Amino acid sequence: MIRLSFKTLLCALTFTAVTLAALAKPIIEGEDSFEFAYRATLPEISEPARLWLPIAQSNKSQKVEITSIDAPGPYTSSSEERFGNRVLFMEVDPKMSGQTVEVNYRVHRYENTGTLAENPEEKNKFLKASSLVPNNERLAKIAQDATQESSLPGTVGPNLYWHTLEQMSYDKSGDGWGRGDAIYACDAKTGNCTDFHSYFIALARTLDVPARFSIGFTIPSDHDKGIIGGYHCWAEYLNDDNWIPVDISEADKHPELKDYFLGNHPANRFQFTVGRDLELNPSPKSGTVNYLIYPLFEIAGKQQKIETEFAFQRIK
C-alpha cells in the first residue's frame, strides 16, 4: 500500500509531463492498475454534523480492494437503496474539526467494450425518469426525429450518440451546467459530462431504451502518479441484453476518438457510483441525492462543501 503525499504529487507534474500530455493518447486500452487515494478534510465546526462518502465496488470492469480507511471516529458502511451503491457514513462532532477521512484503494481496471445485462430488473430500473432526467413529449419528439432515418434494433443508441455529439459542445461557462439537467442541456446545448449524458439518457428512455449513468474519475494516461482535479461520468444503453458503453463528452473533447467512444470505455478510469436520485441510509435532510461522487457534508440539515483531494499512482 502506498501513502500518497498530495503536496509531493503536485510537484511531480513538470513541464515535460505537460508537453507529453498534449501528445499522449488520452485512453488506455486493455487493462490498467493503480492505487487511488480519496481524501476529505473536515472543516472547523461548532456543532454536530454528518458525512457521506461514496465507496467504490468491484464490477465487471474493475476489481477493487480497499487497502485502508482512516477516519477520526467511528463510521458505518451501508448500501444505497435504489442502485446498491456503497456509502460510508459518519457522525461528526466539533472535536474532529480539521481532521481527514481517507480511503485508499488498489484497483485493476478492464476496458469496457460491452457487458451482458444479467438481471432483468435492471431494464425497468434504468427506464424510469429522475428529477433532472425527465421523460416528456418534448424529449420524445427530439428522440424520434433523431432516429427517424433508422429505428431498427441496434441503431437507436448510435443515432442518439451522434445526435448528442452534434447538438452539444463541452463548455462550462455560465450557470446551470454540471447538474445533469437534461432540459438545461437541451436548451443550452452546452455543459460538462453530466449534462451530455443526462441528455442522451433522457432521449434513450423516451424510446424505451434503458440507459444508465455512472460517475467516477479518469486516471491520466500521460503520467503514472499525480493529483486528479475532478470527477468524470459516462453512460451505457441497453441493446439486445448488452450494456453498450458511450462517452459523448470525451468524444466532443477528442474528435479523433469519436468512433472509439461509441461502444468503449477505456481502462484508465475508476467508477464509484451508478444512477441518479440516490436514496442514502441514513437519509440526508435534503432527501434524495442527485448523484454522489464528492462528499456530502451536512450541518444542521444544510449541505456544505468540504475540501477534497484525489490522487493516484499507477502499478507497473
Q: The domain containing residue 282 runs over which residues?
A: 6-111+278-314
Task: Please state the pTM of the whole predicted model.
Answer: 0.91
Verify cis geometry, omega within 30 degrees of 0, for the bond prior to 282: yes
- Tell me, yes or no, whether 135 and 247 share the same domain: yes
> Quick one: pLDDT at residue 81?
87
Low-confidence ranges of the chain (pLDDT < 50): 1-2, 6-23
Cα–Cα distance for residue pair 97/69, rounded to 1 Å:
18
> Quick one: pLDDT at residue 169?
98
> Quick one: pLDDT at residue 121?
79
- Tell me, yes or no, whether 253 and 296 share the same domain: no
- Tell me, yes or no, whether 29 and 150 share the same domain: no
- Tell me, yes or no, whether 215 and 79 share the same domain: no
> Quick one: pLDDT at residue 161?
98
> Quick one: pLDDT at residue 25?
86
> Quick one: pLDDT at residue 260?
98
> Quick one: pLDDT at residue 132?
98
- Tell me, yes or no, whether 216 and 131 share the same domain: yes
> Quick one: pLDDT at residue 4?
52
Q: Are strands 225-227 and 86-92 parallel, antiparallel or unpaired?
A: unpaired
Residue 43 exposed, middle or buried by CB count within 10 Å (0-12, 13-18, 19+):
middle
Instruction: Give the total number of structural domains in the chain.
Output: 2
Tally of CA atoms within 13 A in the half-sphere of 185 that contains its CB:
32
